Amino acid sequence: MQPLQTTSLRVRENQLFILDQQALPQEKNWLPANSVEDLVGHIHALRVRGAPLIGLSASLLLALLAGRGVARDELSTALETLRASRPTAVNLMNNLDRMKLALAQADFVHALEAEAGRLIDEDKRLCDDIARAGSALVTPGSRLLTHCNTGGLATAGVGTALGVIARAHQEGKVANVWVDETRPLLQGGRLTAWELGELSVPYQLITDSMAASLMAKGQVDAVWVGADRIAANGDVANKIGTYSLAVLAKFHNIPFYVAAPHTTLDPDCPNGEAIPIEQRDAREVTGVAGSFGAVQWAPDAARVYNPAFDVTPAELITGWVLDTGVVRFPLG
Q: Is residue 133 included in any domain, yes or no? A: no
Among candidate residues 47, 12, 41, 43, the one with its CA nearest the CA of residue 27: 47
> For residue 289, what are the β-bridge partners?
294
Q: Are 289 and 173 members of one domain?
A: yes
> For residue 259, what are the β-bridge partners?
321
Question: CATH number, domain at 42?
Answer: 1.20.120.420
Q: Are 102 and 173 members of one domain?
A: no
Q: Are 197 and 88 members of one domain?
A: no
Which residue, of 128, 150, 174, is where some domain finishes?
128
Q: Are 117 and 181 members of one domain?
A: no
Which residue, of 92, 108, 128, is where some domain finishes?
128
**What region does 130 belong to: left with phi over 0, alpha with psi -120 to 50, or beta?**
alpha
Backbone φ and ψ for 149, nearest 5 degrees, come out as -130, 125
Expressed as residue numbers, the domain containing 8 is 4-128
Q: Are 61 and 15 members of one domain?
A: yes
Q: What is the pLDDT of residue 291?
A: 63
Residue 310 known to be catalytic:
no
Q: Is residue 124 included in any domain, yes or no? A: yes
How many angstroms separate the CA atoms of 216 and 232, rounded? 32
Question: CATH number, domain at 267?
Answer: 3.40.50.10470
Q: Are 319 and 177 members of one domain?
A: yes
Q: Are 303 and 158 members of one domain?
A: yes
Q: Are 106 and 149 members of one domain?
A: no
Q: Is residue 36 included in any domain, yes or no? A: yes
How many angstroms separate the CA atoms of 33 and 63, rounded? 13
Pairing mode, strands 293-296 and 287-290: antiparallel
**What region does 293 belong to: left with phi over 0, alpha with psi -120 to 50, or beta?**
left
Q: Are 242 and 110 members of one domain?
A: no
Among 180, 228, 310, 323, the one annotated catalytic = 228
Q: Is residue 167 included in any domain, yes or no? A: yes
Q: Is residue 234 included in any domain, yes or no? A: yes
The pLDDT profile of the chain, 332 residues, written as one tens digit per residue, is 889 999 999 999 999 999 999 899 989 999 999 999 999 999 998 899 988 999 999 999 999 999 999 999 999 999 999 999 988 888 999 999 999 999 999 999 999 999 999 999 999 999 999 999 999 999 999 999 999 999 999 999 999 999 999 999 999 999 999 999 998 889 999 999 999 999 999 999 999 999 999 999 999 999 999 999 999 999 999 999 999 999 999 999 999 999 999 989 999 999 999 999 999 999 999 998 766 778 999 999 999 999 999 999 999 999 999 999 999 977 75
Q: Are 287 and 232 members of one domain?
A: yes
How many angstroms separate the CA atoms of 82 and 173, rounded? 40
Pairing mode, strands 236-239 and 309-312: antiparallel
Give every strand in the sheet of 256-259, ordered side by side: 203-206, 174-180, 142-146, 222-225, 256-259, 319-322, 325-328
Which residue, of 59, 94, 128, is where some domain finishes?
128
Q: What is the pLDDT of residue 288?
A: 84
Q: What is the pLDDT of residue 332?
A: 58
How many angstroms separate the CA atoms of 318 and 332, rounded? 14
pTM for the model stands at 0.92
The total of structural domains in the chain comes to 2
Burial of 232 (0-12, 13-18, 19+ CB in 10 A): middle
Q: Are 178 and 315 members of one domain?
A: yes
Q: Is residue 64 included in any domain, yes or no? A: yes
Q: What is the dihedral of CA 26, 32, 35, 37, to 10 degrees?
A: -30
Q: Are 81 and 157 members of one domain?
A: no
Q: Is residue 134 included in any domain, yes or no? A: no
Q: Is residue 296 included in any domain, yes or no? A: yes
